[in-house]
Structure 1
Amino acid sequence: MAAILNCIGVSDLIVRLVLLLMFVCSTYGGGCTFPESWTGSWFQSGNPGLIAINSTHIQLKGECIEMDSTDKFLLYDRSDDSYRCMVIHEKHRYVLQYKESPNWSKDTLSTICEQISGDAPLFSMFRKEPRPVPQPCPFHPAPFTFTYNRGTGDCANPPSRAEACTDDSRLLLRYMACPDVPGTESNVEELVCLATWKEGSTRYLVGQISQVQRRNSIASDEDTFRCFIYKGQHSDRGMTYNIAQSGDASCNGVSSPTDGSRIMRLTNSDDEHNRCHFPSWIVEHHKWFSLDHSHQYHFTTKNATLKIMNADGSFEEKRLVCHSILEQKDKKFIKLVAHVTRGCESGHMCLWFVRRDTGVLELRQGAALWDAAAPACRAAPQPHHTLVGESPYTAI
């Protein structure tokens, strides 16, 4: 008899627990999950550490218990037994933006979401882990000259310069100091582009900026993450970009391409692809290889650009754009100056090409990069490299 009573008691307890669970689920919406793409660690300006997000929980915010459509979430914070509504938008797989209500007592999702005022602050979170993969910067084709303004006037003379890197997700910004504009100084920054998106006609960019002169120093995420609004338009000289940059690691304080903590105007400085082209007897093969096949030489962009990289494509070493032809003989020899980009370093270099046979070239390169084109061929060349085409039997 005791065993039977105990059994009845256990069953009654189970029933009570099930009813309680059903009550909780009906009261709080039955739980919810965030998109899988949000899982990871995120940086938000003003927070001392990273914010972890998993399928049901946002660190410092609470557990997801109910959602409405795809952007409104009701979160429960056990630490103070409070609720909050978060309206979250995924702008890019590396950028989340949200507004939130104040902490609230238990109520419906719609009621708590109504507590978010129209002028509530907009918060931005930038992905840190898994590590974001940079994407091509939207400003092209470099190089550009640019003016900038930090609120004390346009720094236009001498002009600053933006240069491409071999990795098209990077842009080198060389700021010049203007004697007549207070607060300007010579500085070199490297911009790594991480995310772009569009809202209406407004285009956004999130990137990280590092000080080239202090590359070995440790910079915080607060110092490096920046948000930009930009607009490109065609001009007589090519593309022109108006760019506004945020003053901190958020997207606050930028409202248009001409309103931000720092505004810039980039203008194409020189389309070097129009200077000259590699001759047909070189570009008959768009791909050439060193004899040991350790390096690949790839001609692109209407026969004006040569990329030199490891043969497996794992690491791009140099990008060479034809600048000026100094000497050429028939279809056997050419001497030219190329504008070279190696990493984020750039300059001018002399090149000598000799055709030894069908599908066989000899290449000599200058020993150094020069700021100007004129002196690039004055020094003796390095030892030659023999190149073979993809198909050495292709006739001219």
Structure 2
Amino acid sequence: MILTVISKIISRKGWCHFPSRWEGTWFQSGVRTPIIISEDRLSTKGRCIASDGGDKFLVVDDMFRVDADPVPCPFAGAFTFSYNRGHGECTTPPSSVESCTQDSRLLLRYQACPDVYGSESTVEELLCLATWKEGSSRYLVGKVHHSHATSNEDRYRCFVYEKSQTNPPLGPMLPSPGVTLVPSETTVDFRVAQSGDATCNGLFSPMEGSRTMALRKAPSPIKCSFPSWLTAHSRWHTLDYRRSYQFHARNTTLRISNASTPDDSAPPPPFPPPPPPAVGSGTDGADRNVGPGGHHRGNSVHHRGRHQQLLQQVAASPLSSPQDAEMRVVCSEAVEVTGDFARLVTHVTMGCHSGFVCMTFYKRDSHVIEVQAGSYTHRPEEACQPSHFDEAALPFVTLVSEGHGVRKRRNTCNDEEDFTSLAVGCGSSDTMEFRSACTRADLISAYSCHGGWEDNGTHFLITTPLSRTSHGARRLCFIYREGGPGSGGVIHFSSSPDSCRRNVLPGVEGALAFNVTNVGQCMEMSSASKTAIHKLLSLIGPLLLLLLMSR
């Protein structure tokens, strides 16, 4: 919220209050301490003691609410742009605007031009706080983060902008003293001028400002769709339900978000987050990379190396929290797609950080998929190369479709009591039951089976606990492998509550770890259930009917 009037008061029985919508903490350029508006007081400026009862406004100062809620930025999507800081337009190489997962944030990557004094390689992050229209002009107030910003005086900036309609060439204009002009272009989508301080003073036209920009729409990274077998279910979950994967927009966009679990901390990202962009100087007239006459301060190789070092430097921005941010994934290139396998180059945005990532999806069952994802790169052709995607070393993320499986409630023994046997397909054709000699019942825990598969001799089975405490696992992956020759038919079991991990040693590691041996078939079994059990056993191996377990 931007306050440009401070003397409108409301009268009631001889006393007055400032409007309630003004109450809060404000920042004013040139004033070191925050300004607080509360009831009839305006911080150090005074107290309201009288009112004429009218609707009169006296424009005194521009103030920006410190804790203002952000608003959607007026520029949606990706852009390239040229800019001018008073010494000529910097067009080559082009600078860029990247969208963030939050529509109230933008990332501006400025490039340095060899022949333009005052141009620089830097990255700024813009948080949009307010927009309004005044006459024919549209205004934006935002908070710009960069490494040299040490106070609100450095961070708050005002912008005036216009959206080009037919993009006609601009006629000749004479600039005012001390301001710059955007040169004529026929492909400009937005023209923007930025203030040089934390006010909107003297900012009347997008053609004049401390820094002017000409924005052009960039090509969309969306060039393919996710396969139909993957989008047949629009929403998927990790086994622990801490992350959801949802497909949108004609199956070209996937959004990965944290589930609202108040008792849990934020889950780790499904793949390593991109390195945050180094947020550069961004201050007017400081840290210039190009000297007078267009001469670099150093050779071009050194300059390119410095820019790459800036972009790779891990310097977290207070405006972003990528570990908690939603991730937007769009399909950029289909490298290989079959009926149960898809390798795609995707463009991933997390917070205000983005890049290209190679992702591989595996269809394990009609309701179960797995995902592998590589590391970030700014070049799509490098995403699926071994340097960024090492299939043998990457972990798997196991996902189940939303709403699959009906949970039932069963009476259980004490959760801490040891179980001694495992029954598969005896009570129901699609359940596994851990049994114990407890006093209240002989059933300690039951699991409904959803699907399974085999990978290099190791079997994986996705289950849902039919009886669990409020803090128990929502889903479990059972990982098991048959013992070698001479093991006496022992099968080694482990379980994982979040994903089907390949680095778990069955029978030794995992949330549960145990070994089982076959002791016979169920005592009573109808012919109908025999058929169902046969299907279940085809998933988990022919030895599992009634199994004696040791922990």
Tell which structure's C-alpha radius of gyration is larger: 2
Equivalent residues of 1:350, 1:376 under 8 A apart:
yes
User: Within the alignment, does 1:351 sit opposite 2:286 as a pair?
Assistant: no
C-alpha displacement at 1:186, in angstroms?
Answer: 0.8
User: Which of 325, 328, 336 is equivalent to 1:319?
Assistant: 328
User: Which of 36, 39, 44 is equivalent to 2:28?
Assistant: 44
User: Which of 44, 58, 65 is equivalent to 1:127?
Assistant: 65
Aligned to 1:294: 242
C-alpha displacement at 1:256, in angstroms?
Answer: 1.5
Pair 244,364 (structure 1): closer, same or farther in 2 beyond 3 Å: same
Alignment partners' CA distance in 2, 1:320 and 1:67: 57
User: Which of 359, 383, 391 is equivalent to 1:376?
Assistant: 383
Alignment partners' CA distance in 2, 1:249 and 1:302: 42
Alignment partners' CA distance in 2, 1:190 and 1:264: 16
C-alpha displacement at 1:378, in angstroms?
Answer: 1.4
Structure with higher strand content: 1
- SS of match in other structure, 1:66: coil
Alignment partners' CA distance in 2, 1:300 and 1:204: 32
Letter in 2 for 1:35: P
Q: Deviations over 1:70-114 (max 9, x none)?
A: 343xxxxxxxxxxxxxx2xxxxxxxxxx23xxxxxxxxxxxxxxx
C-alpha displacement at 1:218, in angstroms?
Answer: 6.3
User: Within the alignment, does 1:171 sit opposite 2:106 as a pair?
Assistant: yes
Alignment partners' CA distance in 1, 2:399 and 2:103: 26
User: Which of 97, 103, 117 is equivalent to 1:182?
Assistant: 117
Aligned to 1:138: 74
Identity of aligned residues (%): 46
Q: Which moved more, 1:331-340 or 1:237-246?
A: 237-246
Aligned to 1:285: 233
C-alpha displacement at 1:203, in angstroms?
Answer: 1.6
User: Which of 246, 251, 254 is equivalent to 2:203?
Assistant: 254
What pairs up with 1:86-101 in 2 under 5 angstroms? 87=58, 98-99=59-60
Aligned to 1:157: 92
Aligned to 2:214: 265
Alignment partners' CA distance in 1, 2:330 and 2:52: 54
Aligned to 2:193: 244
Structure with higher helix content: 1
Pair 155,36 (structure 1): closer, same or farther in 2 beyond 3 Å: same
Pair 151,291 (structure 1): closer, same or farther in 2 beyond 3 Å: same
Alignment partners' CA distance in 2, 1:304 and 1:238: 27
- SS of match in other structure, 1:316: coil
User: Which of 143, 151, 158 is equivalent to 1:220?
Assistant: 151
C-alpha displacement at 1:358, in angstroms?
Answer: 1.7
What pairs up with 1:45-84 in 2 under 5 angstroms? 45-64=29-48, 65-72=50-57
Alignment partners' CA distance in 2, 1:182 and 1:250: 26
Alignment partners' CA distance in 2, 1:234 and 1:290: 46
Alignment partners' CA distance in 2, 1:59 and 1:134: 24
Residue segments in structure 2 that go unaligned for 5+ positions in a row: 1-12, 168-185, 267-323, 406-551
C-alpha displacement at 1:68, in angstroms?
Answer: 4.4
Alignment partners' CA distance in 2, 1:286 and 1:66: 59
Equivalent residues of 2:127, 2:144 under 8 A apart:
yes
Pair 136,248 (structure 1): closer, same or farther in 2 beyond 3 Å: same
Letter in 2 for 1:320: V
Alignment partners' CA distance in 1, 2:187 and 2:332: 18
Alignment partners' CA distance in 2, 1:132 and 1:67: 30
Q: Which moved more, 1:376-385 or 1:60-69?
A: 60-69
Alignment partners' CA distance in 2, 1:260 and 1:285: 50
- SS of match in other structure, 1:281: helix
TM-score by length of 1: 0.73
Q: Deviations over 1:237-270 (max 9, x none)?
A: 9982211111100011211222211111111111
Equivalent residues of 1:253, 1:261 under 8 A apart:
no
TM-score by length of 2: 0.53
Equivalent residues of 1:321, 1:340 under 8 A apart:
yes
C-alpha displacement at 1:235, in angstroms?
Answer: 7.4
Alignment partners' CA distance in 2, 1:238 and 1:278: 32
C-alpha displacement at 1:62, in angstroms?
Answer: 2.4
Alignment partners' CA distance in 1, 2:119 and 2:20: 45
Alignment partners' CA distance in 2, 1:239 and 1:285: 40
Alignment partners' CA distance in 1, 2:136 and 2:400: 49
User: Which of 301, 305, 308 is equivalent to 2:253?
Assistant: 305
Equivalent residues of 2:104, 2:128 under 8 A apart:
yes
Alignment partners' CA distance in 2, 1:185 and 1:218: 16
